[in-house]
Every structure is written in C-alpha cells, then in structure tokens.
Amino acid sequence: MKKAIRIIFLSLLGIVVIGTFVFLWQKSQPKEVVYDILTPSVQTIAKKTVATGKINPRNEVQIKPQISGIISNIYKEAGQKVKNGEVIALVKIIPEMSQINSAENRINVAKIDVERIETQYKRDEKLYNEKVLSREDFEKSRADYLKAKEELQTAIDNLEIVKNGIAKRSDSYTNTQIRSTITGVILDIPVKVGNSVIQSNNFNDGTTIATIADMNDMIFEGKVDETEVGRVHEGMPIVLTVGALQDQRFDATLEYISPKGAEENGAVMFEMKAAARIPDSVVIRAGYSANAEIILAQRNNVMTVPESSVSFEKDSSFVYVLKTTDGKKQEFEKCPVTLGLSDGINIEVLSGVTDSMQIRGLQKIDKKP
C-alpha cells in the first residue's frame, strides 16, 4: 500500500516538473510580431500654430458726462442698440450755494445797469429826434443799451445753468443729457439712478455712464509664441474656433503683430490682432474665448503617410514595405524616402513610395480577454 502511494506521488511530481519545463520553454520562445498595414494616401498637409485669445469689438467707447451731478434717469439697458446722439441717461445737477449766490448777484447788477442805460438811451433818443444829438452819439447809446440787455439775459441764463444745467435758449445743447457718441450696442451701464457722477476733464477721467461698441466689426486679440512669430505675417488667413460656439468656425485675416514681446510664465509672447468675419446670423458676445489656427505652410494633393510609420537613422528616413502577400509571416523591406511637410500626424513623402505600396505601421497589441 505504501509502495503504491509512493509511486502515485512520484508520478504526480514528475508530471508537475515536466509541465513546468514545457510552460517555461513555451514562454521563452519569441512571439511573432504583427504590425498594422497602411497604404499611402493623397491629401492636403497643413502645418498650423494655435494662438489663444478673445473676440472683442474693434471700437469700444466709454460714455462719460461733461458735468458733475446725480443720475436722475436711465433710459437704456445693457444689450440694447443705440444710435449716435441718442440719449442714454439724464444727470441732475446739485448746485453749490456760492455759485447760486454769485449768479443771482450778477443778475441784480445787470438789472441796475439796464435801468440806468435804458434811461440814458431814451433821453438820447429824444434829443436825436429833436436834431440836438448827433447820429454817431445816438448809435453809441443804442449799442450800450442793447449790450446791457444782452448782459442781463446772459446772467439769467447763467443762473439757470447753475441750477438746472440747462438754459432755455440752448435746451437742445444741454450737457445734462448723456448721449451716445457712436452707433452700436450697449455692453454695460455700470451706474444706477441716484449714483453721483464726476465730469470728464483734464484732471479726471470722469465716471463711465455706459460702454458702447460696434458689434458688426469684431477682431480676435491673442498672443503667439516667439518660436512661431517669425513665420507669421500680416495678411495670413486664420480660422477661429469660439469656445461657446464649438460647432462653428470663422474666417479671419491677420492684421497686426506686436513689434515687442512680453514675458509670460517664462515664455516671450507677442500680441496679435485679426479681423474676424462673422455672419449676421451668428450672435457673438464681446469677450468670448477663442483659438486661432494660423496656417504656416500648406501642400495640396500630395502623397502622405502617417508620421508614426517613418523610421529615422541619422540624416536618412525610411519606411518598411510589406513583401509577403500570401497571409504568412509578415516580411518587410527597408525603403528610403524623401520627406516634406508634416502636420504632426501625417507627413508628406516626396519620393520613395507609391499609393499601391503597403507599409508597416504600429505594432499590434494583443488584447487579453
């Protein structure tokens, strides 16, 4: 009984040892490498660079008051269209008591002068009619009287301007009405009724009442890296991709490249601007993020292969052409090629391959179940 158990144990041990050696031998055998087979194709190759930036209106104007006061009315809202000269808001003047007092004193003085000169004028007129006073003296007296009346009216207008910011004789030219200076769309109205505003002058920029822009003339403002700026120039075509409108692409033309760069995060960047052509059916809002694809070079209808199928040795480049076609083990022949433009995925082949060749691609990866 013990002898039988020993024989069974040794047999099982022998089977395990032999199975282990067979498994290790199979693992040590080289596996057949299988590659994807590719065919050269005729297509267009374009080398591009991408600049990031925003789409903004070319002309954006800040409307500022020409007089200080308090906003009493706002007639427009952000997003509305306005025409040149259209009233946006109304400013109410808060006059100083010293200015009112000075203006009232000026009126009183002007009235005294008018009464005095009017009395003299009537006396001179009577003497002139009686042939006692010369015509020259009478005309001088009459001119003094008219000047005094005008001075009184000016003083009255000045008091109205101090109190109300407007005179009755010039109500169409009042600066209390804040008007648009261009035709466009209101982007923002940062003030509200009751806010105090400061006039724009040589010492102060003034309070912004509204920001208006012509949304029919949009430009792309972005930055391009110093490694690419030497290959771009004014007039180059650009394709814009807007982040908020991912399914649409817009044409643009490069208009401006800054002559001076600015360092950002260790890289020197150059500002660029491009005129965007936006269809009327598309609504673009100011400040949309966008990417600009700049075509640096392009080859149309050329023979191309995937760049991953090309091997490089020193200054030479090669592809491997499939020799076997009977379904047996893949065998390839090394074939030198002359390369052209690359877009990072496909590369132009100037010579060395034809569209009937089958070339080696990437190695296939076995997928385990």
- pLDDT tens for 85-106 read 899 998 887 766 677 777 778 8
Alpha-carbon gap, residue 39 to 334, rounded angstroms: 15
Is residue 189 scored above 90 in pLDDT? yes
Tokens of 258: 């800054």
Average pLDDT of the residues in 209-217: 91
**Tokens in use for 134?**
């010369």
For 91, the token pair is: 């400013």
Percent of the chain with pLDDT over 70: 86
**Quick check: 57 and 218 in contact, CB under 8 A?**
yes
Average confidence (pLDDT) over 135-140: 82
DSSP category for residue 364: P
Looking at residue 365, what is its pLDDT? 64
- What domains lie within the chain, and their CATH numbers? 35-45+300-363 (2.40.420.20), 49-57+215-298 (2.40.30.170), 61-93+176-213 (2.40.50.100), 97-171 (1.10.287)
Q: What is the pLDDT of residue 118?
A: 84
Tokens of 93: 């003047």
Q: Is the pTM of this model over 0.75?
A: no
Paired tokens of 30: 């080289």
Amino acid at 226: E
Non-local CB neighbours of 10 within 8 Å, separated by 6+ positions: none
**Which of 35-39, 191-195, 196-200, 350-354 tops mean pLDDT?**
191-195
**Partners of 335 in beta bridges:** 319
Higher pLDDT pick, 91 / 20: 91
Whether residue 239 has pLDDT greater than 70: yes
What percentage of the chain's residues is helix, strand, coil (to nearest 5)?
A: 30, 40, 35
pLDDT band at 27 (very low <50, low <70, confident <90, very high): low
Instruction: Give 367's pLDDT tier (boundaries 50, 70, 90).
Output: very low
Residue 265 per-residue DSSP state: T
For position 104, what pLDDT does the model report?
74
Give me the pLDDT at residue 350, please: 87
- Whole-number pLDDT of residue 341: 87
The rounded distance, in Å, linking the Cα atoms of 272 and 223 is 6
pLDDT confidence of residue 298 = 83
